[in-house]
Amino acid sequence: MSKPLVAVIDWAEQPLSEPVPTVEAAVIGDAAEVKNFLCSTDDDFAGDILDARAVIIWHNIPVRAAAIQRFRCCRAIIRNGVGYDAVDLAAAHAQNIAVCNVPDYGTEEVADHAIALIMALCRQLFPLDQEAKRLGWHIRVTDRLRRLRELTLGIVGLGRIGTATALRAKALGFRVCFYDPYLPNGVDKAVGVARERTLDDLLRRSDVLSLHCPLTDETRHLVAERELSLLKPSAFVVNTARGAIIKKTAILDALRQGRLAGAGLDVVEDEPLRTPEEAATPNLIVTCHSAFCSIESKLEMRRTSARIARAAVLGEPLENVVNGIAAAR
């Protein structure tokens, strides 16, 4: 009998994988054959993909109910990354297919990236760079240059990345507080940061707001017009989580109207930016959804995904299940 198949599905428009998935094949070994497929959407799922025992999904390809129902023997859909909002969890559960993610592979990188954006805003690196390259030396942004130890960094979501960001910020001298209604009492004491019990209180207190929560029905547009109005006009906003946590039109309008001092967005709603007008928004840094990227993180992500796929093929318990199917059938 032929070996079962693990399908590595990459986005045809911007592939990040290799034509031959050597990293995954090395982890999976003799347990399965591993093939790479390029697809634009899940409408392209056909042929061998539908017979795969496990699928590893790169990028933001949506995996909707209609595609999930076409799988003939799939045991696990593994999202090559932290976010899994592009996968229909309920449809996969109904088919008894586990959905897994890789929640820890880019913890250091995303936290570092958030701090880099925060520092770039607080020290106005990009406007100063532009001025110097105009062969000028006029500092026009003195009203935005801040002393870090006088600032409060508010973190939404104190999970792995939020905690890593908080610890880095503490080392830089920030006063750090957080809002996360799902954490038990005492987490603030363990990490050594302050806790706010409501998002509104966090917003009013923060000089810098950094988002580190998943995108769910609850957090979609968590920060919109009303929430932005609670921030100080001198405040900065950083998002390295998911774009739609912040309502794009709301934050761009706030920047244009001077109701917000600046924003550093690794992710934006309906990314990438769509118009020259969006790109010309003042005091905006955008970094191409790249916070997770490093040579090391990419290898770790691929090895973890492959390890989960191997377990699915062998019928072993699965790691990082997000839809309640705890073991491959």
Spatial distance between the Cα atoms of 236 and 251, rounded to a whole number of angstroms: 11
- Residue 274: pLDDT band (50, 70, 90) is very high
Same domain, residue pair 244 and 112: yes
Counted domains in the chain = 2
| 108 close to 82: Cβ distance less than 8 angstroms | no
Whether 221 is catalytic = no
Catalytic residue among 75, 175, 289, 302: 289
Query: Is residue 319 domain-resident?
Result: no
Strand partners, 76: 54, 98
Lookup: tokens for 128 = 């100063």
Domain membership flag for residue 137: yes
Phi, psi of 162 (to 5 degrees): -60, -40
327 pLDDT tier (thresholds 50, 70, 90): low
Are residues 150 and 59 part of one domain?
Answer: no
User: 160 pLDDT band (50/70/90 cuts)?
Assistant: very high
Shared-domain flag, residues 277 and 164: yes
Average pLDDT over residues 294-318: 96
- Of 131, 271, 278, 319, the active-site residue reads 271
Domain match, 101 and 113 both? no
User: Residue 17 falls within a domain, yes or no?
Assistant: yes
Q: What is the pLDDT of residues 95-136, one digit of tens each?
A: 999 999 999 999 999 999 999 999 999 999 999 999 999 999
**Residue 302 confidence class, pLDDT cut points 50, 70, 90:** very high
Q: What is the tens place of the pLDDT at every residue in 167-205?
A: 999 999 999 999 999 999 999 999 999 999 999 999 999
Q: Is residue 325 part of a domain?
A: no
Domain identity same for 244 and 180: yes
* 17-52 pLDDT per residue, tens: 888 999 999 999 999 999 999 999 999 999 999 999
Q: Is the pLDDT of residue 79 over 90?
A: yes
Q: What is the pLDDT of residue 329?
A: 52
Q: What is the CATH number of the domain that holds 43?
A: 3.40.50.720
Asked whether residue 281 falls in the same domain as residue 303, the answer is: no
Identify whether residues 201 and 273 lie together within a single domain. yes
Is the link from the previous residue into 272 a cis peptide, with omega within 30 of 0? yes
Residue 1 has pLDDT above 70, yes or no: no
The pair of structure tokens assigned to 143 is 């009203």
- Same domain as 245, residue 191: yes
Check whether residue 120 and residue 149 sit in a common domain. Answer: yes
54 and 126, same domain (yes or no): no
For the stretch 126-158, what's the b/e string if a residue is b when 16 or more beta carbons lie within 10 angstroms of its beta carbon?
bbbeebeeeeeeeeebeebebebeebbbbbbbb
Q: Which domain holds residue 151?
A: 107-286
pLDDT band at 15 (very low <50, low <70, confident <90, very high): confident
Confidence tier at 262 by pLDDT (50, 70, 90) = very high
Average pLDDT estimate for 226-241: 98
Q: pLDDT above 70 covers what percent of the chain?
A: 99
For the stretch 191-194, contacts whose Cβ atoms lie closer than 8 Å and that sit 24 or more positions apart, written own/partner, are 191/158, 191/163, 191/166, 191/167, 193/155, 193/158, 193/166
The pLDDT score that the predictor gives to residue 265 is: 98
Rounded average pLDDT over 239-258: 98
59 assigned to active site: no
Is the residue at 328 inside a domain? no
Question: Are 187 and 60 within one domain?
Answer: no
Which of 80-89, 118-127, 297-306 has the least mean pLDDT? 80-89
Alpha-carbon distance 255 to 153, whole Å? Answer: 19
The pTM for the full model equals 0.87
Same domain, 177 and 130: yes
Identified catalytic residue from 195, 242, 302, 310: 242
Domain annotation covers residue 321: no
